[in-house]
Structure 1
Amino acid sequence: MPASSTFSDPFIAAAVWTGLAALALTLLLSLQIIGMRMTLSRRQRAEARALARWRPLLNAAIVGDAPATLPPLLRADRLPFLRLWVHLQGSLRGEAGEALNEFARRLGLDEDARTMLARGRRAARLLGALVLGHLRDRRAWPELLRLADQADNTLSLTALWALVRIDPEAAAEYLAPMFVEREDWALSHVAGILQQASGPAAAVLARLLPGLDEAKLPRALRIAEALRITLPHKVLRTALASAAVPVVIAALRSVLTPDTIDQVRALLAHEEWQVRVQAARALGRVGERADADRLVALLGDPEWWVRYRAAQALLELPSLRRADIEALCASLTDRFAADMLAQVMAENRPA
């Protein structure tokens, strides 16, 4: 059949042109992939050269042997250098970290980081915030405050971390109320950021707690718990006496001293089983030998979690030895209570 007659059929012609177009697109995609791989390969080689050039100098600075004269930092080396510098800072403390700070200042990287923070793309701003936090650069404070209020959680939390590094006391005054309000921020991140400002944060939280409404109080108490902050007795007593179950639960989790032990004992009989669970755990932390009978009574609670936490609390009581617990287990007449205590003892038996 002649070729002209073949292409005169519209269906065959459409199929041919569709195939040619697909082939052309495949070739273009292949060329693009090859180009991207070549670009990535060049970038990786350039980064490897930068690291080979600067890693020995940074290592020398860490041990206090930085050269008197530093080579210029090429523009292509800046990002690999900063990533390496931040990585090293994350594992250093004290004089070694300050030596790296001085090294970066000699290269003018504090100014570069402030420029990245103000005008860079997202990744550059994140890196700039990390650098300025490690440098404790007070001049970056206003820009970091602006970024801390961004909707981007990663960017805002990184800026908040940098603020704490720069000035823990001033940052605690600003951050503690914000962390109470921003429930979209995970408590683990909040605690990690405030860890270096736990003292100032404790003072701010103690001042905030009496004025908070019951909707915000549980989160504030959980922040105090995550930071292992010992709250003022008056604040804790008020929270333990609250009619709101979430507040009472959060307050029980914050009990670290025996000053409120009478309220904790009373809450062992609370109608809500979640409260009884936390009361048992709190008694395990601060209780006395005489509290063993109270915890034994909870071993007969209708809720499994209450029985389990009561058994754990018995093992945690500092005044009870292992032999005392074993004798107590043998004396129990309630089969469910005895089984629960035996299970927890087995879980805590030394390997």
Structure 2
Amino acid sequence: MDSRLHSDIYLLAAFWTGVGALLLTLLIAVQIVYLRLAARSLKRREQALTARWRPALNAAIVGVSEMTLPGLRSAERMLFLKLWVHLHQSVRGEASGGLNEVAYRLGCDAYARRLLRKGNRAQRLLAILALGHLRDAAAWDDLLGVVHGRDSAASVHALWALVQADAGRAAREVAPMLLQREDWAMSQLANILKDARAEWEPVLAEAVAGTDQEQLPHALRLLAALRLSLPAQQLRGLLNHPVAEVVSCALRLAATPDLLDEVRRQLGHGDWRVRVQAVRTLGQLGDHSDVARLRRLLGDQQWWVRYRAAQALLGLPFLTSDDLAALQQEGMDRYALDMLKQVRAEQEAA
């Protein structure tokens, strides 16, 4: 009796488990069908909107003004904004003005600001791009809040939007934080600031002066990556900094004749990383008197110092093949000779 009861319970449990699995499978299948139908519907709507709006937007790009615009329903604003941003990213200069005029006529600026405040992540990113292209100053505070947020992608795009709206104001309000954000790709920052160097360079120099010692190396590396410079007097102070990493990073920015003597002094620094960077900088600035200095460093204990010294020597524009041959006859050790041969072979193969 008990055995039959237990058997019935197991059979019942197996039955309902199978029913549950079947229902779950059907539910997943329905969901897949729904998603496919929704995707097809969205694609048809996008194609219809593009066909209706592309001629008008193309006309705006080429400078046609006061044209009659097609109708735009509320449900289509998101699709239109995607199309508008896509076209905006393919044009430059005056062509963007026509697109902006169309967007303002349609109230896209206000719509993008609402998306920035209340949309999901994808919608907020789209809104940031739109507001940047529109150079919309009314969204400044909201964009500044995104810049200070933890989302790396959203924050760096918000920085771009602020620079588009007002590069000088963006520099004054964001520069100190930019030197501290290690999650922003330097390549992106270089692209964002490439047309705003005049506004950002003096502000960043001031911000570097107030940067704490822990953040200073990163700040200097960032300036070097952005190809921005610091005043010579400020660099002299950094080249005499007690922390070797700071000196090494400052040398990246010291490629100016005014600092040649300071660069030469770092060739004898106790930290080999500083010597490496000093050699690289000297290779850009050096004159005939530096040939002997670089030759001595071919005998440095550190491989990287010898390697960079060989590169610097072979890269000096005034040093001829006869000069190099004469150097090699002046009692170089085999390590120095091998390094010169290696670097020359690399240059010939490049």
Give me the TM-score of the superposition, normalised by structure 2.
Answer: 0.90
Say if 2:147 and 2:158, in contact at 8 Å, map to a contact too: yes
Deviation at 1:240, TM superposition (A): 0.3
Question: 1:196 and 1:329 mapped to 2: Cα distance?
Answer: 46
Question: 1:325 and 1:134 mapped to 2: Cα distance?
Answer: 54
Q: What is aligned with 2:13? A: 14
Q: What is aligned with 1:242? A: 241
Q: What is aligned with 2:302? A: 303
Secondary structure class of the residue paired with 2:348? coil
Give me the TM-score of the superposition, normalised by structure 1.
Answer: 0.90
* 1:125–1:22 distance in 2 versus 1, CA, 3 Å: same
Q: What is aligned with 1:141? A: 140
Secondary structure class of the residue paired with 1:183? coil
> Which region of structure 1 is more displaced relative to structure 2, 203-212 or 151-160?
203-212
* 1:212–1:19 distance in 2 versus 1, CA, 3 Å: closer
CA offsets per residue over residues 20-74 of structure 1, 9 Å max, x none? 3212211221111111111111112211222222223222222223561111223
Deviation at 1:173, TM superposition (A): 0.7
Runs (5+) with no aligned partner, structure 2 = none
Q: What is aligned with 1:55? A: 54
* 1:339–1:79 distance in 2 versus 1, CA, 3 Å: farther
Q: What is aligned with 2:337? A: 338
Q: What is aligned with 2:189? A: 190
Deviation at 1:349, TM superposition (A): 2.3
Q: What is aligned with 1:316? A: 315
CA offsets per residue over residues 123-162 of structure 1, 9 Å max, x none? 2221111111111111111221222222222222221111
> Which region of structure 1 is more displaced relative to structure 2, 312-321 or 237-246?
312-321
* 1:319–1:79 distance in 2 versus 1, CA, 3 Å: farther
Secondary structure class of the residue paired with 2:289? helix
* 1:6–1:210 distance in 2 versus 1, CA, 3 Å: closer
In the TM superposition, 1:64-79 aligns within 5 A as 64-65=63-64, 68-79=67-78
> Which region of structure 1 is more displaced relative to structure 2, 299-308 or 65-74?
65-74
Aligned CA RMSD, in angstroms, stands at 2.4
Identity rate, percent = 51
Say if 1:61 and 1:99, in contact at 8 Å, map to a contact too: yes
Say if 1:239 and 1:248, in contact at 8 Å, map to a contact too: yes
Deviation at 1:345, TM superposition (A): 2.0
| Number of residue pairs matched by the alignment | 347
Q: What is aligned with 1:201? A: 200
Say if 2:189 and 2:226, in contact at 8 Å, map to a contact too: no
* 1:100–1:314 distance in 2 versus 1, CA, 3 Å: farther
Runs (5+) with no aligned partner, structure 1 = none
1:265 alignment partner AA: R
